[in-house]
Structure 1
Amino acid sequence: MTPGGAAGSGRPAPRMVSAVPRTRPGDRPWSADPYSHAVLSGRGPLFLRRADGWLLPLEVERWCADADAVDREVLARCEGAVLDVGCGPGRLVAALAARGGTALGIDVSEAAVAHTTRLGGQALQRSVFEPLPGEGRWGTALLVDGNIGIGGDPAALLRRLSRLLAPGGLLIAETVPDADVDERVSVRIVRIPGTPDGTEDHDGGPGAAGPSFPWARLGTPALLRHAARAGWRPQGQWTAGGRAFATLRNRRASSSADPANSPAVSSSQRPRNTSPGMPVADS
């Protein structure tokens, strides 16, 4: 791993910020949903639930633990500054930071971002489709723990990541193991599988289900098909610990509109000062 500039670009690493959640009107519901409560407690059970009742268990305990051997193998393949998309509780960002690497996590969950910063990682409460620091400078992007599903449109996500990475940048994506799955679904995060609509919680705790949102599930063959159409070059694939991964190389060429010496973060994205003793917030 080279924690300096983006791999092979000769460009400076993205300007980093110490992180606190960026809250906006409408963000507060995330602080009361089942996922946030699971992150705060460090345990499930938690599931993605389709309207037809299909359930996908979410591995909250693993996500809230330290990076394991499979995670460390993923991190060993990273190049340059790393953007962890959908970083969750932040185990990968924290592990990279502990190694002295440059890494930033992004997540729409306020609880996940707060957990990441408590671990010593840097994170922003932001969607991958919003403006981000260091666009076009990142050496590696991570899509692990099913995050290829973000937005329910893998093609759009791959196009967005191509713009975030430096030319020749690396994407490491986790896929559904041992299956050629390529599906778009509407799901809810639920704590109690028998709760049909999230309007009632049978154990008296916070809401049993969050709102519905689009999601996608891809096996490696499907990922490679989408990636080829989006201009990515496949580099490798492997399985470990019952999990499957693929690496892709960005083919995006340098642009004259994106000169090598331009700043990694625009003035609207630079850190601003906060009160003494508080971390720096991103604008």
Structure 2
Amino acid sequence: MSAASGTSVPGRLPGPSPAAPLSPWAGADPYDAALRAGHGPLFLRRADGWLLPLEVERWCARADVVDRDVLDRCEGTVLDVGCGPGRLVAELAARGRPVLGIDVSEAAVEHTVRLGGHALRRSVFEPLPGEGRWDTVLLMDGNVGIGGDPHALLRRIARLLRPGGLLIAETAPVDVDERVRVRITDARAAAGSPFPWARLGTRALLRHARGWERAGQWTAGGRRFAALRSRGSRSAASSADPPKRTAVISSQRPRNTSAGSPVADR
């Protein structure tokens, strides 16, 4: 759903509430430009020159096998926070699942809608449709870092979920727990004001997730994930841990951590 459409998401969710001011990402021209082009280079850049590569090409592609495995674990209605160009929203919509993506980028919302998904240009900290009734919330592609305050983000997600609802988060491929201030850059120029961001490995996320129940941990394709369940009644069978499959964190190192590891600015 585009921000202007006003139509409701399939299923039982209401239409959007009035939009509030957006975060610094909304004015990050290199980010919108990269999404419209479908490729980078694009980075988060810290004041000391530290760069974190962003996987624009993967985000703009269709959902891959690792993504689809995550989506198989989703329950009921799904909210994709920081949906980017919408590959996950589009995949769930194609399966006939009620799903909404939110992103502060106009280009991201437009791309998601073109793929056949529903999306709003909105920050997770702004009023959202269906608050307290979502069955699953997704924080993929580093979006556990939104706002730079893991405790505040987890509290907000808990308010969006129904009691016993499921959060599936993609964590950093290395064991890290840090708060930084960054800008968006295409390696030529940074855009906008610095904004807070966080990088969390699985252990760090679990440390911050006080009051949540652990529902699974796994590694696939060099990417790491954790599932948490909000306080409340647990569903009889959690799709975060599919039948005949144990969701455990792998002890082996990711095969490719280049997209999750900072590189020096030379």
Provide the TM-score with structure 2 as the length reference: 0.79
| Matched-pair contact (CA < 8 Å) for 2:165–2:229 | yes
Larger radius of gyration: 1
Residue of structure 2 in register with 1:7 after alignment: none
Distance (Å, rounded) in 2 between the aligned partners of 1:15 and 1:111: 24
The counterpart of 1:223, out of the listed 196, 205, 211, is 205
C-alpha offsets along residues 17-54 of structure 1, whole Å, 9 cap, x if unaligned?
5x9xx877778993661000001110100001111111
Residue of structure 2 in register with 1:76 after alignment: 72
| Matched-pair contact (CA < 8 Å) for 1:43–1:60 | yes
Q: Which AA in structure 2 matches 1:187?
A: V
Range moving further from structure 2, 209-218 or 70-79: 209-218
Distance (Å, rounded) in 2 between the aligned partners of 1:155 and 1:188: 22
The counterpart of 1:174, out of the listed 167, 170, 175, is 170
1:169 is paired with a residue of what secondary structure?
strand
Distance (Å, rounded) in 1 between the aligned partners of 2:176 and 2:23: 32
Unpaired segments ≥5 residues, structure 2: 1-9, 234-266
Q: Structure 1's 37 and 185: CA in aligned 2 closer, same or farther, altered over 3 A?
A: same
Distance (Å, rounded) in 2 between the aligned partners of 1:145 and 1:158: 16
Residue of structure 2 in register with 1:185 after alignment: 180
Deviation (angstroms), 1:212? 1.2
Q: Structure 1's 183 and 25: CA in aligned 2 closer, same or farther, altered over 3 A?
A: closer
| Matched-pair contact (CA < 8 Å) for 1:31–1:110 | no
Distance (Å, rounded) in 2 between the aligned partners of 1:27 and 1:146: 16
Unpaired segments ≥5 residues, structure 1: 1-11, 199-207, 254-283
1:209 is paired with a residue of what secondary structure?
strand
Q: Structure 1's 82 and 89: CA in aligned 2 closer, same or farther, altered over 3 A?
A: same
Q: Structure 1's 47 and 85: CA in aligned 2 closer, same or farther, altered over 3 A?
A: same
Matched length: 223
The counterpart of 1:247, out of the listed 227, 235, 247, is 227
Q: Structure 1's 50 and 167: CA in aligned 2 closer, same or farther, altered over 3 A?
A: same
Distance (Å, rounded) in 1 between the aligned partners of 2:132 and 2:109: 23
| Matched-pair contact (CA < 8 Å) for 1:182–1:218 | yes
Residue of structure 1 in register with 2:217 after alignment: 237
Residue of structure 2 in register with 1:152 after alignment: 148
Distance (Å, rounded) in 2 between the aligned partners of 1:247 and 1:113: 26
Distance (Å, rounded) in 2 between the aligned partners of 1:99 and 1:25: 33
Deviation (angstroms), 1:211? 2.6
1:127 is paired with a residue of what secondary structure?
coil
Distance (Å, rounded) in 2 between the aligned partners of 1:26 and 1:218: 23
Deviation (angstroms), 1:16? 5.3
Residue of structure 2 in register with 1:135 after alignment: 131
The counterpart of 1:42, out of the listed 14, 31, 38, is 38
1:52 is paired with a residue of what secondary structure?
coil
Residue of structure 2 in register with 1:280 after alignment: none
1:251 is paired with a residue of what secondary structure?
coil
Deviation (angstroms), 1:15? 1.5
Q: Which AA in structure 2 matches 1:146?
A: G
The counterpart of 2:58, out of the listed 45, 56, 62, is 62
1:212 is paired with a residue of what secondary structure?
strand
| Matched-pair contact (CA < 8 Å) for 1:34–1:210 | no
Deviation (angstroms), 1:13? 5.0
Distance (Å, rounded) in 2 between the aligned partners of 1:27 and 1:48: 15
C-alpha offsets along residues 246-278 of structure 1, whole Å, 9 cap, x if unaligned?
00011157xxxxxxxxxxxxxxxxxxxxxxxxx
Q: Which AA in structure 1 matches 2:109?
A: V
2:45 is paired with a residue of what secondary structure?
strand
Distance (Å, rounded) in 2 between the aligned partners of 1:105 and 1:163: 17
| Matched-pair contact (CA < 8 Å) for 1:91–1:116 | yes
1:100 to 2:80 alignment: no
1:78 is paired with a residue of what secondary structure?
coil
Q: Structure 1's 182 and 121: CA in aligned 2 closer, same or farther, altered over 3 A?
A: same
Q: Structure 1's 68 and 16: CA in aligned 2 closer, same or farther, altered over 3 A?
A: farther
Q: Which AA in structure 1 matches 2:214?
A: P
